[in-house]
Amino acid sequence: MSDLSLDATQLDRYSRHIIMDEVGPEGQKRLLDSSALVVGAGGLGAPVIQYLAAAGVGTVGVVDDDVVERSNLQRQVIHGDDDVGRPKVDSARDFVAALNPDVDVDTYETRLDRENAGILTDYDIVVDASDNFPTRYLVNDTCRLEGIPVSHGAIYKFEGQVTTLHPDGPCYRCLFREAPEPGTVPDCATTGVLGVLPGTVGCIQATEAVKVLLDAGDPLIGRLLFYDAMDMSFETVPYAEDPDCPVCGDDPIDSIDDIEYVDGCAIGAD
């Protein structure tokens, strides 16, 4: 174990990982040397950040341009009442620092867009915890072109979904070619959301991210997991690569430069 540079404190902190054959000291060192970018520090991002940090993912990036509001505290568990009015990235950074000093936190107090999407390429995996379609398509398109895996999650009232978008499998546009018309899918501020729902969905996203970083288990590649909190049911639906997909199909784009991430986020034919 000494060859893996795990000190006594780390051997104690990560002991429940280290005793597992599927992780072990080699796997824990791999996590400590890994990086993950979490897009969004809200309902989904909060549990993702919490558990990636607890697991010892060595560098966690957080992208968010919002500040903490009191209405967030019903579900965004890394923020507290004293954080109201603070940038979420600052609150997230302080939470991780108190939880695990092994983890470095990169903060980006900005809204992810086409001009700054290069942020995504600095990380081993991206966790899409965003709450809007333009960001989801931007993350998918950029990461697919750069060969970066993505753990995608979304929530609505009492329901959630998770899938893993891996370079070896279908992408988000294979599943949903274009976004729905603006205004047809209401947000949490309009419809509400069960406070514990993003905790469940975000934990599944964090699980998928850790599995990908460890190269362990069977991630949700080509499978969309549906969760219904009211029925307490899970359903997995397979989906396949689309040869006509404009991002990962037989004739893919080579850049996002000409894509306008508004409305349906469509990629026009040449």
Task: Please identify every residue annotated as catalytic.
Answer: 188
H-state helical runs in 101-216? 133-146, 172-175, 188-191, 197-214
Residues 206, 17: contact at Cβ < 8 Å? no
Rounded Cα distance between 267 and 256, Å, is 9
* CA distances from residue 233 to 167, 218, 225 in whole angstroms, order as listed: 29, 20, 10
Rounded Cα distance between 167 and 147, Å, is 5
Three-state DSSP at 223 gives strand
What end-to-end distance do the CA atoms of the chain give, in Å?
55
Residue count of the chain, please give it. Answer: 270
CA 268 distance to own-chain centroid: 27
Q: Which of the 8 DSSP states describes residue 118? A: G
